[in-house]
Structures are given as C-alpha cells and as structure tokens.
Structure 1
Amino acid sequence: MIVINNFDEYKSLEGTLVGTSSWHVIDQNQINRFADATLDHQWIHTDEQRAMNESPYHSTIAHGYLTLSLIPYLWKQIAEVRNISMEINYGIENFKFGQPVKVNDEVCLQAKIKSVTDLKGTVKVVVLAKLLIKNQLKPAYTGDVVFLYHFA
C-alpha cells in the first residue's frame, strides 16, 4: 500500500501505476443485497435458475453499478491518503463496462494516477481505474474516477 501525506507526494505520482487491490469475491448474497438496496431485481442478477437456463453467461451477473460501487473499498487497499480533513468521491468520466462479472468471480482494482491538480486548496485527483476479473483478459470496466481532497 502506498501512503500519501500531502499534495506534493500525490503530485509526484502522476502517470504512475500505484497498485492493485486484493481480490474480492462477488457472491450471490452481495448481489442480492445490492438488488434490494437499489430496487433493481432484474432476473439476470437475482434469479439463479433462470440465469443458468436463459442467460448467455449461464449464471447470474453482478450489477455494473455494484462493481462500480466497490471502488472506494478497493482504492483504500491501494492508497492511504493521510492528513485530510475531507475526501469526496467527485465523479466518474470516460467509463466503459467491458464485460460482466459473473457470480463468484474474483475482482481487483488496478489504479494509475492520471492527474493531480491543486484547485486553490482542494486537490483534484483523477485515477484511471480498471476492475480486473481473475483469469480473464478483458477488464470488467475501465474509466477515470475523480476524488477531491482537503489536506489538513
């Protein structure tokens, strides 16, 4: 894990692949809880029997937004940003889902710092995020995640 204490340390990481998180299994329980939280109970996510018989993947798949929502959790395994009074998930840009994550797939986040900008005391960081799927060549998604930090 990389530790970042201030703007200058963050800035020095521009263009750097800073790391990869540990693997995380997305199981049916997590998919079902996400479906309940978002009211998205589409059968491709929640009906295991129907998905096995009718889906081209022959299993349920994780919601794309479930995989996206893992970014803060997985990012914190890659980088510890210290001396901040506030951290904001500011946005996502240029995001593409490459392939679905099937139930019980293992995923990890790979992160590269694209840019670090000081906006009059607020530090804007753009991270190129790739969600890798174990034993798959194509990532589940690729895109830019934007964080805002207020260093103390």
Structure 2
Amino acid sequence: MLTFTNLAEFSDHAGQSLGETAYMTITQDMINLFAQATGDHQWIHTDPDQAAQLSPYKTTIAHGFLTLSLAPRLMAELYRIESVKMGINYGSNKVRFTNAVPVGSHLRLKAQLQSVEPQNKGVRVITECIFEIEGNPKPACIAELITLLFE
C-alpha cells in the first residue's frame, strides 16, 4: 500500500501507477445481496439453474455495477493519505463493462492516478481503474472515476 502524508505529496504522484490489489472472489452471495439492494434480479445474475441452461456463460455473472461498486473498497487497499479527513465519490468520466464476471471469478483492481486538481478546500482526483479477471486478458471493467478529497 502506498502512503502519502498529505494532498500535496499525493498530487506529486499524478501520472503514475497506484498499483494493483490482491484478487478477491466474486461469490453468489455478493451477487444476490447486490440484486437485493438494487432490485435487479435478472436471472443471469441470480438463478444459477437457469443460467446453466440458457446463459452463454453457463453460470451466473456479477452485475456490471457490482464490479464498479467495488472501486472504493479496492482503492482502500492501494493507498491512503494521512491528512485526508473525507473523500466523496463525485462521478465518472467514462465507464465501460468490457467482459462478464462469472460467479467464482477472482477480480482485482489496477489503478493509475491520472490527475489531481485543486477543488475548493480539497482536490478533485481522476483515477483510471481497470478491473481484471484472473486468467483472462480482457478486463471486466475500465472506468475513469472522479473523487473529491478533503484535509
């Protein structure tokens, strides 16, 4: 994990890699809980029997937005800034779900710090996030995420 003392030190890291996380397993319980939270109970996500029969993946797959929602959790494994008191997810410039994530897949995040710009009493951070599936050359998701950080 990278540790930065303050936002100025973090800003100096712009344009560089933030690293990659360990792999995490995407479980059916995670998928079901996400479906419950969002109301998206499409069978491709929540019905293993129907998915085995009808899906081209022959198993259930994670929601694309489940994959994306893991960004804050996984980014917390990559870096911390000692002086930051609060961070806010501000949005995204671009999100693409480029590959399905079958249940049981091992997923990790690789991140690149694109830019850090002053914003009121903090900074606006743009990070390129690539969600990789172990053993698959095509990523699950590529997203350019925006975060506001405050000291």
TM category (shorter chain) comes to over 0.9
Q: 1:38 to 1:120 in 2, by over 3 A?
A: closer
Q: 1: distance between equivalents of 2:99 and 2:81? A: 30
- Give the superposition deviation at 1:5: 2.0
1:89 aligned to 2:96?
A: no
Provide, for residues 75-100 of structure 1, a one-character-per-residue CA deviation record: whole Å limited to 9, x for no partner.
Answer: 00001122122110111121111101
- Following superposition, which runs of at least 4 residues in structure 1 exceed 6 angstroms of deviation? none
- Give the AA of the match of 1:30: M
Q: Percent identity?
A: 37
Alignment of 1:29-108 (within 5 A): 29-108=29-108
2: distance between equivalents of 1:64 and 1:119?
30
Please, what TM-score do these two structures have when normalized by structure 1? Answer: 0.96
Indicate the SS of the match to 1:51: helix
Measure the CA separation in 2 of the matches of 1:119 and 1:36. 36
Amino acid aligned to 1:46? T
Measured against aligned partners, the alpha-carbon deviations of 1:47-80 in whole angstroms (never above 9, x if no partner) come to: 1011011001111000011111100000000011
Aligned match of 1:130: 130
Q: SS at the partner of 1:9?
A: helix
SS, match of residue 84 in structure 1? coil
Structure 2 counterpart of 1:78, one-letter code: L
**Aligned position for 1:2:** 2
| 2:136 alignment partner AA | Q
One-letter amino acid matched to 2:83? N
Gaps in structure 1 of 5+ consecutive residues: none
State the Cα RMSD in Å.
0.9
**Whole-Å separation in 1 of the counterparts to 2:55 and 2:117:** 44
Deviation at 1:18, TM superposition (A): 1.4
In 1, Cα distance between the equivalents of 2:41 and 2:121?
42
